Chains A and B, each alone.
Chain A
């Protein structure tokens, strides 16, 4: 035993003081009475004395001395050593998506896991050391080898589950590392998975007979002027007959519904057909409730739904460009003659500037730019014009064979048939441009970002001196380039938790804000054209990009990974290798509650003695 505040024992000085006071105070009270006859006579009737009564007079003093002693010890805060009573604990809580499954009492498996750990910590001897690792889509060590039980319990409340797959491998390897240093470490894994074989690990299983249904692989397509929505539905705990509902654009009433017979653990396809071709979002949801609602619905957003732009074509002969933009049907096109351009009012309000056979004196700052057959170099354009080349024989266009994703995307859908041209402009380009098509090694179609951050496409030839406009690849190429020039904020709206979404940072974007399903707000870096964001929560994310006065908002949907949808998972083994030791550390007992209880008993006893002496005998 040791004392945290030994000076508290100075309170024992009160004991002799108390005795002195008792001696001084407790004299015989002298009193003259009319007659002592009866008192003297009472001696003859005095029965054998109860030995307890002999100390009755000093019971109060004894109680008060004991109270002073206990108060002094309580102030000095004794800490008792409990030999080999404490342990080193390492708790690994499974924080994967399946731990969000609700138990029968309404709490989630993760809540139950925390409760189990809380009880283990609370029941452990003071002096034990605690380590808590949460294995979610990332492995987080909330605390390591702390001995403060209250702090361990407090920090336990901060543990939160993820919606991704379990990072058990990392967690177990950390535990293994700790076990290597301390073979007496007690490793507890609290999870909803069961293990056929364990070694040096105590597995606490928090799963119960939950049921779960999930919608997955939802896609949409258009056919015959109809919207076709398809996907799979699955039951993870027995056969079921499920009601599937299709919702369009966030409507409360479903657009369509159907019953699906689902076999246990078998993907069952479904398909909806709708007239809502021009939709912003669609949702397929299982009507039945289950223990994990996050995977009961799948939401898709039409990422091109909000893409619209206005185009200014500056050309003497804008026929081909007008035709192709009209064919693609998603742009308002204004046309201006080159000699009118410099004096054109309102020329700054376009999303895309196409300069055909004309080079402006100053590059537009507020929109994307296409150059067709440039006549001179333009400052900040990112390329320089060197010379006009006339071929003796028409040259065949060579499509880039680069394995770059951007190149592949820009040339996607092209048949790459033989296309020729007779004249082109030899240009020098900067590093941030990618070459798409070339002639005789000279790039004639290339794309990149100019000095103002706007996307730029250069056709270094006159359409009239080539058969490009007549080629079937022309509309596809223009479409791809429009997609490149006006990138969607995201190219895909459906993810699993733990996936990373690539968010396109549009030109002149001032901020990219992500609102997570749980209300968290994150601002992303806008210095790169593409920024990745990891979706670690299940539900709908809102991505907002602010470009000047324009706000572009898209939604993403993340759902629980397929691997986390199983209500019961059995794994072969969970092993912490090594020879365990039973040697324990010394524990402590420093709770003052017992002292206060004893003090209360002493005070009550003293009070009862006082009342007994003062009142009961009267």
Chain B
């Protein structure tokens, strides 16, 4: 199935936005993201006294004319960011009419495009079972985006996934940008450690929880026998009535609250996205309001 129905118009609109990075960026290469260190950008930062050995090109001669003392003019440094996007590729993301996989891929592609527009590097990974597979590696520039983004269509959503077990062994960088985890987070498996690990590595973290409409507001009534798509040995057999529906709503609130509270505790961003939610509304309204984009 084609999972990337993102058109050119949408991409052009995306170019107007920019990812906001909270943590100081410590990339090795110059880029569009300002750092707290002094560098060679055009944006004035401060003055300091000249010490021997300083580059004379940085001496502010106008100040010398006024104060007869040598001062160096300092400018902000701008670094390149590395955006890492992790897509939960478990079977629960694709089964049924939810189209959670499509929504996940579309979000990943849009964030990737935002990053390449800011001259950032983008890597996209999928999490299968306990491992991470790199789908696109260090994509830089729009040409590379166009050339590589189609690989997302090849992602196979199958099996189970354990986010923490998959992410913790990875070299996720340090303070060099945004990490995005896109999953339904409907699992007992540990994902808290992954979030903590990424936050500890001074990376901005955005957790996007994608749920289908049926999961948000189930319509099933009466006697049902649900089998889990990831593991058919797991099942749920009940006569669904109002009590159970109320309990389900409480469970949903608990599950979303679990990831939301975790993100808030680690100053990470959290978004609950319906699988059929309009991607343009998601980016131009909700993410802007949340401060993820500007």
Contact = CB atoms under 8 A, between A and B. Distances in A.
A28 B220 CA distance: 12
A37 interface: yes
Contacts of B227: 30-33, 36
Interface string B211-240: 010110001111111111110101111110
B234 A30 contact: no
A329 B179 CA distance: 145
A42 B229 contact: no
B251 A29 contact: no
A340 interface: no
Contact of B241 (A28, A35, A37, A53): A53
Given A28-B237, A34-B98, A39-B236, A617 B226 contact: no
A613 B98 CA distance: 24
B251 A45 contact: yes
B143 interface: no
B217 to A, nearest CB: 9
Interface stretch (B37-45, B89-97, B123-131): B89-97
A49 interface: yes
Contact of B95 (A30, A32, A613, A618): A32
Given A42-B250, A46-B244, A56-B241, A35 B223 contact: no
B188 A36 contact: no
Contacts of A39: 226, 236, 238, 248, 251
Contacts of A28: 223-225, 237
Contacts of B272: none
B254 to A, nearest CB: 7
Contacts, number: 118
Nearest to A56: B241
A36 B251 CA distance: 11
A42 B251 CA distance: 5
Contacts of B184: 34-35
B247 interface: yes
Contacts of A549: none
Contacts of B79: none
Given A42-B251, A57-B222, A34 B235 contact: no
Given A42-B248, A47-B243, A36 B236 contact: yes
B228 to A, nearest CB: 4
Interface in A24-78: 26-47, 49-50, 53, 56-57
A34 B229 contact: yes
Nearest to A612: B242
Interface string A162-180: 0000000000000000000
A613 B245 CA distance: 12
A33 B226 contact: yes
A617 B91 CA distance: 29
Contacts of A31: 220, 224-227
B273 to A, nearest CB: 15
B252 A617 contact: no
A555 B173 CA distance: 132
Contacts of A26: 223
A37 B227 CA distance: 10
Main secondary structure of the interface of A (DSSP, over half): mixed
Nearest to A49: B243
A29 B215 contact: no
Given A37-B188, A41-B251, A617 B242 contact: yes
B100 interface: yes
A46 B93 CA distance: 26
Given A38-B186, A38-B248, A53-B241, A45 B254 contact: yes
Contact of A35 (B229, B237, B239): B229
A69 to B, nearest CB: 25
B171 to A, nearest CB: 30
Contacts of B221: 613-614, 617
B160 to A, nearest CB: 10
A366 to B, nearest CB: 104
A34 B223 contact: no
Contact of A618 (B219, B226, B230): B219
B223 A33 contact: no
Interface in A567-618: 613-614, 617-618
Interface string B191-210: 00000000000000000000
Q: Which of B91, B186, B226, B244 has the most CB of A within 10 A?
A: B226
A612 to B, nearest CB: 9
B110 to A, nearest CB: 23
B135 interface: no
Interface in A59-115: none
A614 B220 CA distance: 10
A98 B291 CA distance: 102
Interface string A436-464: 00000000000000000000000000000
A600 B64 CA distance: 103
B223 A27 contact: yes
A29 B223 contact: yes
B255 interface: yes
Given A31-B226, A31-B227, A613-B222, A45 B95 contact: no
Contacts of A56: 241
A29 B222 CA distance: 8
B187 interface: yes
A45 B236 CA distance: 15
Contact of B215 (A32, A38, A43, A53): A38
Nearest to B97: A34
Contacts of B241: 53, 56-57, 617
Contacts of B245: 617
Given A35-B230, A38-B251, A50 B243 contact: yes
Nearest to B237: A28
Given A28-B225, A34-B100, A41 B95 contact: no
A538 to B, nearest CB: 77
Contacts of A32: 95-96, 226-229, 232
Contact of B255 (A41, A43, A50, A614): A41
Contact of B244 (A27, A30, A42, A613): A42
Nearest to B256: A38
A48 B268 CA distance: 37
A119 B95 CA distance: 74
A34 B250 contact: no
B26 to A, nearest CB: 38
Q: Which of A32, A33, A50, A617 has the most CB of B within 10 A?
A: A33
Contacts of B251: 38-39, 41-42, 44-45
A50 B246 CA distance: 13
Given A26-B223, A28-B237, A29-B222, A35 B250 contact: no
9 contacts: A31-B220, A34-B95, A34-B98, A34-B212, A34-B215, A38-B215, A41-B254, A42-B250, A617-B221
Given A32-B96, A33-B229, A36-B226, 12 more contacts: A28-B224, A29-B222, A29-B223, A32-B95, A34-B92, A34-B94, A35-B184, A36-B234, A38-B248, A39-B226, A41-B251, A617-B242
Interface of A: 26-47, 49-50, 53, 56-57, 613-614, 617-618
Instruction: Please list the 7 inter-chain residue pairs (A to B) with the smallest Cβ-Cβ separation, ordered nearest first.
Output: A45-B250, A41-B251, A42-B247, A39-B236, A42-B251, A46-B247, A45-B247
